[in-house]
Structure 1
Amino acid sequence: MSPAPIRLPRAGGGVEEYRPRAEPARPGTTGGALVSRTVLAAAHVVADPYADTTPDSPAAVDWDATLAFRRHLWAHGLGVAEAMDTAQRGMGLDWAGAAELIRRSAAEARAVGGRIACGVGTDQLTGPAALPAVRAAYEEQLALVEDAGARAVLMASRALAGAARSAEDYLDVYGQLLRQAREPVILHWLGPMFDPALDGYWGSADLDTATETFLAVIAAHPDKVDGIKVSLLDARREVELRRRLPRGVRCYTGDDFHYPELIEGDAHGFSHALLGVFDPLGPLAAEAVRILDTGDPEGFRALLDPTVALSRHLFEAPTRFYKTGVVLLAWLAGHQDHFAMVGGLQSARSLPHLARAYELADGLGLFPDPELAADRMRSLLTVYGVPR
């Protein structure tokens, strides 16, 4: 029997009746490793809703629920990109919390045989810093990730963006880091739509100029670069960039607007994936890649293309607040018992935005228990005063 209709508020005002689906679109089956693409889901953290905290307090994390969600992703054959911006790095999760998250998740990955890559940044710096301090902060985090046995993702750094005065400063800092890395790393280019403090990264606000510096870093150390993650929401630029990569260096798309076409690729190559939207889309994304593994790109696109509307909604401007919709969907899907986020970020999106996210996700059949999802959405709407 279909769940009862639910009244959803609309962005233009008023409410409309929506009838939830009765069944999920597909069974919650798990599977082995993906073959044709390396796919990492950037995973969120689950807050401890009972902790007595303020938005300025260190994050209080529910470690059991946080690690259980990572096991969910691994069970479907996905890798986990840990302690990235999806985990609220720099937006509620400080370096001490991120370090603990990395240690715990890396240990869990070893226990279950899961693929993991972890973010390396400079967020232990709390104010303006000179380049030597920025480099030392990177080195501290790189050592922790490597000691934990995880692949490192050298994240874009607010501190480096503030301290660098030229492209040569980026070449110097990244060059020193790559020379001392024990294993090849993933270089992360996060655009200012995800973090305004990163405007002008690689030494120029002109993306063509910045791209040349980025490529120069890779060309100088191709044996130390496993791949690049590009989060610029510009499919054309990503395709042009990946065609210029040295042989053996992968491109991991971070484009939450164009990922189906970029993962499918063209006659000249394709992108792997490291995506925040694959947190809520994990099982469906894994199923789509398994279809691609069989040599069926049309079937892959038929399954993944319909998810783009949800992704574009979650990541609409201001894009950096996409984490709120991601955590809402995790709660509605039953992966956690509450809709609370570290730093109180659950308030970062409007009720109409959250209602639309629910509607799009339900339409895709993402919720294992549509009735549970509908009941939880009703409870949220009641708190906001929406009549049943």
Structure 2
Amino acid sequence: MSVSEAIAAPLKTPLVPRPDLMSGKPSLIGLTREAMADALKEKGVPERQVKMRVSQLWHWLYVRGVSDFDAMTNVAKDMREMLRTHFTISRPEVVEEQISNDGTRKWLLRFPPRGAGRPVEVETVYIPEEGRGTLCISSQVGCSLTCSFCHTGTQRLVRNLTAEEILGQLLLARDRLGDFPGLDAPANAFVPSGDRKVTNIVMMGMGEPLYNFENVKTALLIASDGDGLSLSKRRITLSTSGVVPEIYRTGEEIGVMLAISLHAVRDELRDMLVPINKKYPLKELLEACRRYPGLANSRRITFEYVMLKDVNDSLEDAKLLAQLLKGIPAKINLIPFNPWPGTNYQCSDWAQIEKFADFINQAGYASPIRTPRGRDILAACGQLKSESERMRKTERLAFEAMMIAGHGEDD
């Protein structure tokens, strides 16, 4: 095996359930401060202590990044025992980790069953760049939108991710990248923003974030909380295919940067590429963008445009795109199509992409060509797809049997 092959080889863990994920205990991760306070009061924490305990937990979870109650050294031993008995702060299980030749990392993460369901898996991607590191986070298991050029769209929607599961991707990535203070650091230690590996997060992974609005909102507000993970809202981007009713709410209630998966400038083509366009056509989508709260030249909307050979890459398309976005503070990300097994689309020729970009630039819009990252591990834009559906029946039954046995032991 060559060095490059060794680097890109997946790190696999066996299909054995972790006891901490089998407990069925509610997680404190993903709870708002108010919900965390209610959870503590329900378990007998005196009213006069609740605010202080929430502050302690918030610091340990989101500043120090601990995943074990015993690491909370300034929390009384009996309190830690109570927390361990009733709650969990576990990370998701890493099924596979792949590292691309360009440094991009992709994790296949498994979450425990919810209700009568079974374990599910999603993919999360970290993209290191000079001066920044971007984490691409999933919001759903699978996707219901069936965009014809997107690999994720070939996987049926299984369920929404919870706020805990959305945040779990960020916490897990920071763990793996060494982005939290070490356990031997002082209790008030934190990672200076200039030293962070994860500086930006984008809701561009599996799923449509605005079809899971409340959980995404809770997770992103916690991620941007100044007393915790403390990511600037200007470094958080939510990408939607065009769920028009929730776009205004995103700006009003979450306040993060907005990206639109556009990909076509005529309704008849976008109906095929991005089928949600049949419900919310271009006119309605762009009107929602013009009304996005806080929209300004300093807070531009990013329009994502995948370059498909002989489909949407003509200069006439470029001209219509500039006309369509007139009056909207915008940046246009041109994305060379990333092939995946079974697709019928091809990437536009590089010379054509450059001509398209030049026309858009001359029309007054920044139009960077996104450098493809992680293609060798299918981690590039539009390539994410978990293996949840492919889990062999015998493996799944064995896993579920162990889950049942594990619950029996806990009981």
TM-score normalised by the shorter chain: which range applies? 0.3 to 0.5
Give TM-score scaled by structure 2 length: 0.38
Give TM-score scaled by structure 1 length: 0.40
Relative to total residues, which structure has the larger helix share, 1 or 2?
1
